Structure 1
Amino acid sequence: MIKLKKILLLLLFLVCVNSFAQLLSSNMEKKTLALGEVNHLVIKIDNLGSRTVTAAQKNELLPFHFEEIKDSIGSNFNSYERKIEFAVYEEGTFKIPELEFKVGEKVLKTIPYEIEVINTAHKDDQINDIMSNKEVQLEVTDYWELYKWYLLAALALIALIIAIIMFVKYGRKSKDSPVVTTNQTLKELESLKKKKYIEEGNYRSFYVELIDISRKFITRQYSIPADVLLTDDLISLMKQNNTISQENEKIVEDVFLRGDLVKFAKTFPDQQMMEKDFTEIRDFVKRSSKDIEFENLRKDV
Structure 2
Amino acid sequence: MKKILFILSIFISSFSFSQMITSNLQKKMLALGETDKFVIIIKYLNGEKVSAARENELLPFHFEEIKDSISAGEDFYERTIEFAVFEEGKFTIPELEFKAGNQIMKTPAYEIEVVNTAKKEDVINDIMNNKDVELGMEDYWELYKFYILVAIAVIALIIAIIIILKWGRKPKSSPKITSNLTLKELDGLKKKKFIENGDFRSFYVELIDISRRFITTQYHVPAEVLLTDDLIDAMKQNNTISPENEKIVEEVFLRGDLVKFAKTFPDQETMQKDFSDIKTVVERSTKDLEFENLRKDV
TM range (shorter): 0.3 to 0.5
Normalised TM-score (structure 2): 0.43
Query: Which structure has the larger Rg over C-alpha atoms?
Result: 1
